Structure 1
Amino acid sequence: MDMKHYDLAVIGSGPGGEGAAMMAAKNGLKAVVIERHFDVGGGCTHWGTIPSKALRHAVKTLSDFQNEPLLSEFRSSLRLSFPQLLTRAGRVIEQQVALRRRFYERNRVPVLAGSARFVDAQTLEVDSSLGSSQKLRAKHFVVAAGSRPYRPPDVDFNHPRVRDSDTILQLADSPHAITIYGAGVIGCEYASIFVKLGCKVNLVNTQDRLLSFLDDEIAEALSYHLREQGVIVRNNEQYARIEARADDVVLHLKSGRRIKSDLLLWANGRTGNSDGLGLEALGLKPNSRGQLAVNEHYQTSQPQIYAVGDIAGPPALASAAYDQGRFAVEHILTGGGSSERFRLLPSGIYTIPEISSVGKTERELQEAGVPYEMGHAQFKSLARAQMTGETVGMLKILFHAETLEILGVHCFGDRASEIVHIGQTAMASPTLNNLRYFINTTFNYPTMAEAYRVAAHNGLNRLA
Structure 2
Amino acid sequence: MSPQSASPIAQRQRVAVLGGGPGGYEAALVAAQLGADVTVVERQGLGGSTVLTDVVPSKTLIATAETMTTVGGATELGVRFPGGPTRDTEPAGAVSVDLARVHQRVKSLALSQSADVRARLEKEGVRILRGDGRLDGPNALLVTDGPDAGERAEADVVLVSTGSSPRTLPDAQPDGERILTWKQVYDIEELPEHLIVVGSGVTGAEFASAYDALGAHVTLVSSRDRVLPGEDADAAEVLEEVFRRRGMDVVSRTRAQKVERHGDTVTVTLSDGRTLEGSHCLVAVGAIPNTAGIGLEEAGVWTSESGHVDVDKVSRTSARGVYAAGDCTGVFPLASVAAMQGRIAMWHALGDTVAPLKLRSVSANVFTSPEIATVGWTQKQIDSGEAQGEIVKLPLSTNARAKMLGIHDGFVKLFCRSGSGTVIGGVVVAPRASELIFPLTLAVDKRLNVDDVAHAFTVYPSLTGSLAEAARQLHVTGE
Paired residues, what number?
A: 457
How far, CA to CA, are the matches of 2:364 and 2:468 in structure 1? 22
Partner of 1:35: 42
Partner of 1:72: 81
Give the alignment's TM-score, normalised by structure 2. 0.89
Name the SS of the counterpart of 1:411 in structure 2: strand
How far, CA to CA, are the matches of 1:97 and 1:153 in structure 2? 33
> Which range moves more in the overlay, 292-301 or 308-317?
292-301
Amino acid in the other structure paired with 1:385: A
1:34-67 Cα shifts (integer Å, max 9, x gaps): 1111x31100001011010010011221232243
1:381 equivalent to 2:398? Answer: yes
Q: Structure 1's 200 and 288: CA in aligned 2 closer, same or farther, altered over 3 A?
A: farther
Q: Structure 1's 321 and 157: CA in aligned 2 closer, same or farther, altered over 3 A?
A: same
Partner of 2:30: 23
Shift of 1:178: 1.1
1:437 pairs with one of 447, 452, 455: 452
1:2-51 Cα shifts (integer Å, max 9, x gaps): xxx961100111100011101101111111101111x3110000101101
Preserved contact between residue 378 and residue 394 of structure 1 (Cα < 8 Å): yes
How far, CA to CA, are the matches of 1:270 and 1:442 in structure 2? 43
Preserved contact between residue 260 and residue 268 of structure 2 (Cα < 8 Å): yes
1:106 equivalent to 2:123? Answer: yes
Name the SS of the counterpart of 2:313 in structure 1: coil
> Which range moves more in the overlay, 246-255 or 48-57?
246-255
Name the SS of the counterpart of 1:279 in structure 2: coil
Preserved contact between residue 156 and residue 321 of structure 2 (Cα < 8 Å): yes
Partner of 1:396: 413
Preserved contact between residue 148 and residue 272 of structure 1 (Cα < 8 Å): yes
Give the alignment's TM-score, normalised by structure 1. 0.92
1:322 pairs with one of 328, 331, 339: 339
Preserved contact between residue 47 and residue 166 of structure 1 (Cα < 8 Å): yes
Preserved contact between residue 289 and residue 328 of structure 2 (Cα < 8 Å): yes
How far, CA to CA, are the matches of 2:313 and 2:416 in structure 1? 29
Name the SS of the counterpart of 1:418 in structure 2: helix
> Which range moves more in the overlay, 144-153 or 334-343?
334-343
Structure 2 gap segments, 5+ residues each:
1-11, 85-92
Preserved contact between residue 203 and residue 232 of structure 1 (Cα < 8 Å): yes
> Which range moves more in the overlay, 377-386 or 319-328?
377-386
Amino acid in the other structure paired with 1:202: T
Superposition pairs of residues 173-322 of structure 1, within 5 angstroms: 173-284=190-301, 286-322=303-339
How far, CA to CA, are the matches of 1:330 and 1:132 in structure 2? 30
Moved over 6 A (4+): 461-464
How far, CA to CA, are the matches of 1:209 and 1:42 in structure 2? 32
Name the SS of the counterpart of 1:72 in structure 2: coil
Amino acid in the other structure paired with 1:16: G
Shift of 1:367: 1.7
Structure 1 gap segments, 5+ residues each:
none
1:14 equivalent to 2:31? Answer: no
Partner of 2:6: none
Name the SS of the counterpart of 1:240 in structure 2: strand
Partner of 1:457: 472
Name the SS of the counterpart of 1:373 in structure 2: strand
Q: Structure 1's 79 and 229: CA in aligned 2 closer, same or farther, altered over 3 A?
A: closer
Preserved contact between residue 358 and residue 420 of structure 1 (Cα < 8 Å): yes
Preserved contact between residue 374 and residue 396 of structure 1 (Cα < 8 Å): yes
Partner of 1:368: 385
Partner of 1:55: 61
Q: Structure 1's 94 and 463: CA in aligned 2 closer, same or farther, altered over 3 A?
A: farther
How far, CA to CA, are the matches of 2:207 and 2:262 in structure 1? 23
How far, CA to CA, are the matches of 2:34 and 2:363 in structure 1? 28
1:143-193 Cα shifts (integer Å, max 9, x gaps): 111111012343231262100010012111111111111111000001101
How far, CA to CA, are the matches of 1:345 and 1:318 in structure 2? 11
1:88 equivalent to 2:105? Answer: yes
How far, CA to CA, are the matches of 1:242 and 1:7 in structure 2? 48
2:177 pairs with one of 149, 152, 160: 160
